[in-house]
A = this chain, B = another copy of it.
Amino acid sequence: MRFGIPLQDWVDLSTGINPNGWRVPNLPGTLWAHLPEDADALEQTAAYFYGAAEVLPVAGSQAAIQALPLLRAPGRVGVPEVGYQEHAQAWQRAGHTLVRLSDGNPEGHPGDDLERLDVLVVINPNNPTGRRWPVQTLLDWHAGLSARGGWLVVDEAFMDTTPEDSLAPYSDRPGLIVLRSLGKFFGLAGARVGFALGSADLRARLRSQLGPWTLSGPARFVAQMALADADWQAETRSSLRRASAGLADLLGGHGLTPSGGTDLFQWVRTPDAARIQDALARQGIWVRRFDRPPSLRFGLPGADADWRRLDSGLRRDASSAPIRRAPTAHSTAAGPSAGYRDGSHCEAETP
């Protein structure tokens, strides 16, 4: 219960997770009883799906984000100023020095170009801005870094709708690490399944750092089925593209033309971000707000009713905006999700 609205009545557009994810069937009970079977075909299925030579399953890409900084001596690490902040936190916690890159671009950084970085973290496409870097640009950056023993880490959590932009096919090159996840496109955030793509040496070190049996047996089973379901994947790419275009239209119709996005969310820069978030929240619609720059990220509504609620919520906000500007007693920054982080960590994002 937040804003006087029961949890189940919220329309949660704050996550960027596919609202119509891969549907999990009932599973054989034996999956729970036995140690997760490394001899299933999960690795091969994932490698085929990603177009990579080999992959290492991890308990969500977050697990790899936590562990990678422990595999290098402290150095200078470029991280995007806007984007999933767990990267920066993990590198900092491990004693590395952060270089905050505006728009994630090391070449545009005054006095701190690629030459002075040991590691560059790129979120591609960026979340929330949606910016995508060309494959060749990233490969050039990687070449520069790896020549000096450096790393390029590419977080491709939102890449499944644009696989042609993935660096997965190059991930056997030394010093290139690509992170994928089943949380967004497949809508399986609860399964905690991700993959680290990299050279054999890097994968071995990461595996040793993370230890055995990091994925549950049922999660391995579900992931393998979802990754093999090419029909669902093709249909879902089409339907997400249509839905995201529809969302951009809807937002534009309310004067909130997106500045960027992907097929899983739209990103709107607006100085009214805080007010709009609050106004929607009072109508049981939760969107993600960012402070630097002031902006909102809208995930895709799922059911038709959710689309209508967003539409009418924005209309009502526009018509009553002037009288709502003053803060009210029960207006808080906390949304419906208990684990939600806002305020000073406003850019924090669910992986």
Contact = CB atoms under 8 A, between A and B. Distances in A.
Interface string A13-39: 001010001011010011111111111
Interface string A159-194: 000000000000000000000000100011111100
A31 B190 contact: yes
A191 B208 contact: no
A216 interface: yes
Interface string A207-224: 011111111111100100
Nearest to A12: B34
Interface string A330-350: 000000001100000000001
Interface stretch (A61-69, A114-122, A272-280): A61-69
A213 B60 contact: yes
Nearest to A19: B33
A319 to B, nearest CB: 33
Contacts of A24: 29, 32
A241 interface: no
The binding surface of chain A is classed by DSSP as loop
Interface string A106-149: 00000000000000000000000000000000000000000000
Nearest to A218: B218
Contacts of A213: 60, 62, 192, 351
Given A66-B210, A211-B62, A188 B32 contact: yes
Contacts of A339: 35, 37-39, 212
Contacts of A189: 33-35, 217
A93 interface: yes
A30 B59 CA distance: 18
Contacts of A15: 35
Given A216-B219, A218-B216, A35 B350 contact: yes
Contacts of A90: 211
30 contacts: A15-B35, A17-B33, A21-B32, A21-B33, A23-B29, A24-B29, A24-B32, A26-B26, A32-B188, A33-B188, A33-B190, A35-B190, A35-B339, A59-B59, A59-B216, A60-B213, A62-B211, A63-B211, A65-B211, A70-B70, A189-B217, A190-B217, A191-B216, A192-B213, A192-B215, A213-B351, A216-B216, A216-B218, A218-B218, A218-B219
Given A32-B188, A35-B339, 20 more contacts: A21-B33, A24-B29, A26-B26, A30-B190, A32-B191, A35-B183, A35-B189, A38-B338, A62-B211, A63-B214, A65-B211, A66-B210, A66-B211, A86-B211, A190-B217, A191-B217, A192-B216, A216-B218, A218-B218, A219-B219
Interface of A: 15, 17, 21, 23-24, 26, 29-39, 59-60, 62-63, 65-66, 70, 86, 90, 93, 183, 187-192, 208-219, 222, 338-339, 350-351
